[in-house]
A and B are shown apart, each in its own frame.
Chain A
Amino acid sequence: MPSSYWNNIFDKNGRNKPDLDLILKRVPFFSQLKKSELREFKRILHHRYYKKGEVLFFEDEPGVGMYVIETGKIGIYKNYDDASREELAILQSGEFLGEMALLDESPRSATAVALENSSVFGLFRPDLFNLIESKPRLGNKILLKLAQMLAERLRLSNNELQELKQQYESSVIIR
């Protein structure tokens, strides 16, 4: 039986670890939360342990939510099972992944694998939606941050697209 299994069951202090607040504060969605809000928010987090090599989620599976890394390293891969495997990123403590799944159930765009024994906090869509209903002020704060982050990414993508377009046009003119 993998040790992560028993760690997940007997996780007694996961939510009360003193450094969790600091880790969550590093995540943009939660950086604005007050202490009382953060305490409320921690109730809906799921603490999970993954041993080295265990998969958090596979590419193309329906997304349920995001993870914040407490300790360890998580690798993000495209075509994880194929020879054409492509490493997209290696994430470490305080970084997060899978945040798009907080908004809808669309398939995961990549596979996430624990590269060493890791512990993560999961925030899942149904819990977030319940939070928005039960504590609208807190839920909206998180949603606003999520929207701001997505807007920022869209702006960056637009800029990159613009640059690529200009490069393409100039190369056509030169030819």
Chain B
Amino acid sequence: MNLYTQHPKNGSPNSSHDQQLVIILNKQLIKKIVKVLLALLVIGLSIRLLPVFLPILLPLLVSLVISLLLTPLVDRLENVGMNRGAAVGIIFVIFGGLIIAGIKFLLPTMSREIETMSQFMAQQDSQSVIDKIQVTLTRHIPILKNPEIAREVSARLHGLFTSLVSKSLNLIFAIISSFTLIITVPFITFFFLKDGYNIKKFIIQSVPNRYFELSLNLLYKTNQQLGNYIRGQLLVSSIVGTLSIIALYSLKVPYYFVIGIIAGLANMIPYFGPIVGAMPAILVAIVENGTPGSVVGIIIAFAMIQLLDNVLISPIIVSRSVQIHPLVVIIVILVGGNIGGIFGMLLAIPTFAVGQVIIKEIVWSFKHYRLSI
């Protein structure tokens, strides 16, 4: 689009009068420039205000995920003729009861395990733990007897151990400091569940007409896909976690409960999750027993669980619409680890998958709908 337009007067382009450029300010162009500037201002302000809103963002996101998980249950109760508010109340009472029961029965076991685990870590001189692992490794892998390789392995193990201890402590502190979440999340989730449809409707209502159908389509599709993905992932993780706890308990691996939960959570990471999940169990088995038999047992158990997951559980539960290339998985996990440590690594793939679904739908919409600024 031209900013300036020449208006030749008297039909003669060479006359002095005609040489004067008449600048016609294009209203449309000015409008567009103002809009772009406004958009940039909004983006700039959002980035500037992000630290202020970040503490609100986390409970909002957690509440959104929980409401995505529980919405089908509330809908089902509403479908049998119950008032939506009452349906949300009933779901809250049931899940609140389950969580309280879980805390009452499982928390003592978990805290006992974490306590003994940290006592064990404190008692063990980190060097002696590393020595134990090294002895076991050199006994079964002869090449590690080479003094230079042994020194290198020892240094690496030392680094791994200290970072593991500090990161687990960070994780525990993060959980404790998230006390505010415990108060705000149920409150926000309640309203998301009760008024979710009206909130969605209000968002759509405030969209300009030219983007209306596009936004409507985008919101419904992403909502549906994300709901399915998150519900599927959490269900698979719970099943894998439960199976891991059962397997570790039968193999008499100490701290089976905490390690099983870690394995379930790590299962959300494609390709590497199962290895990450099995590592703590293998490390504990080496330190506690130092026998290859127990390690082999753990590897077989985890391999069986993975086989079951890949052949039976995931194909039934998780939709295959979210596919991530292995190389992308590595990069995303590394970036996640850099940003938020172990917690970041765990959340990296689900967050990336959610972003991927949203971007895919936005691209699809941009291709199929006519858009202009």
Mark A residues whose CB is within 8 Å of B. 2, 4-5, 8-9, 11, 46, 48, 50, 54-58, 61-62, 64-65, 124, 126, 130, 133-135
**Residue B272 CB within 8 A of the other chain:** no
Which of B204, B209, B213, B216 is in CB contact (< 8 Å) with A54? Answer: B209
Nearest CB on B from A131, distance (A): 11
Q: Are B369 and A62 in contact (CB under 8 A)?
A: yes
Q: Are A62 and B208 in contact (CB under 8 A)?
A: no
Q: Are A46 and B204 in contact (CB under 8 A)?
A: yes
Q: Are B217 and A5 in contact (CB under 8 A)?
A: no
Task: List 6 A-B pairs, minimum CB-CB distance, nearest first.
Answer: A126-B220, A134-B79, A9-B206, A64-B213, A58-B370, A62-B368
For the complex, what is the distance from the CA of A80 to the CA of B75, rounded to whole Å? Answer: 42
Q: Are B370 and A48 in contact (CB under 8 A)?
A: no
**Closest chain A residue to B212 by CB distance?**
A48
**Closest chain A residue to B365 by CB distance?**
A62
Residue numbers in B under 8 Å from A134 (CB-CB): 75, 78-79
Mark B residues whose CB is within 8 Å of A. 75, 78-79, 201, 204-210, 212-213, 216-217, 220, 224, 368-370
Residue numbers in A under 8 Å from B213 (CB-CB): 57, 61, 64
Q: Are A61 and B369 in contact (CB under 8 A)?
A: yes
**Closest chain B residue to A5 by CB distance?**
B208
For the complex, what is the distance from the CA of A46 to the CA of B212, rounded to whole Å? Answer: 11
Nearest CB on A from B364, distance (A): 9
Q: Are A50 and B216 in contact (CB under 8 A)?
A: no
Residue numbers in B under 8 Å from A8 (CB-CB): 205-209
Q: Are B370 and A5 in contact (CB under 8 A)?
A: no
Which of A9, A55, A58, A61 is in CB contact (< 8 Å) with B205? Answer: A9
For the complex, what is the distance from the CA of A57 to the CA of B213, rounded to whole Å? Answer: 8
Contact A4-B206, Cβ < 8 Å, known A124-B216, A134-B75: no
**Closest chain A residue to B364 by CB distance?**
A62
Q: Are A4 and B209 in contact (CB under 8 A)?
A: yes
The prevalent SS among residues of B at the interface is helix
Residue numbers in A under 8 Å from B204 (CB-CB): 46
Contact A133-B79, Cβ < 8 Å, known A46-B205, A64-B217, A126-B220: yes
Residue numbers in B under 8 Å from A126 (CB-CB): 216, 220, 224
Residue numbers in B under 8 Å from A65 (CB-CB): 216
Nearest CB on B from A62, distance (A): 5
- 6 A-B pairs besides A50-B209, A64-B217, A133-B79 with CB distance below 8 A are A11-B205, A46-B205, A48-B209, A62-B369, A65-B216, A134-B75
Q: List 26 A-B contacts (CB under 8 A).
A: A4-B209, A5-B208, A5-B209, A8-B208, A8-B209, A9-B206, A11-B205, A46-B204, A46-B205, A46-B216, A48-B209, A48-B212, A50-B209, A55-B210, A56-B209, A57-B213, A58-B370, A61-B368, A61-B369, A62-B217, A62-B369, A126-B216, A133-B75, A133-B79, A134-B78, A134-B79
Nearest CB on B from A97, distance (A): 13
Residue numbers in A under 8 Å from B207 (CB-CB): 8
For the complex, what is the distance from the CA of A155 to the CA of B304, rounded to whole Å? Answer: 60
**Closest chain A residue to B81 by CB distance?**
A135
Residue numbers in A under 8 Å from B201 (CB-CB): 46
Residue numbers in B under 8 Å from A133 (CB-CB): 75, 79
Nearest CB on B from A5, distance (A): 5
Residue numbers in B under 8 Å from A9 (CB-CB): 205-206
Residue numbers in A under 8 Å from B216 (CB-CB): 46, 64-65, 124, 126
For the complex, what is the distance from the CA of A9 to the CA of B370, rounded to whole Å? Answer: 23
**Closest chain B residue to A134 by CB distance?**
B79
For the complex, what is the distance from the CA of A48 to the CA of B210, rounded to whole Å? Answer: 12
**Closest chain A residue to B368 by CB distance?**
A62
For the complex, what is the distance from the CA of A54 to the CA of B209, rounded to whole Å? Answer: 8
Nearest CB on B from A25, distance (A): 23
**Closest chain A residue to B208 by CB distance?**
A5
Most buried by B among A4, A11, A134: A134
For the complex, what is the distance from the CA of A5 to the CA of B368, rounded to whole Å? Answer: 23
Residue numbers in A under 8 Å from B210 (CB-CB): 54-55
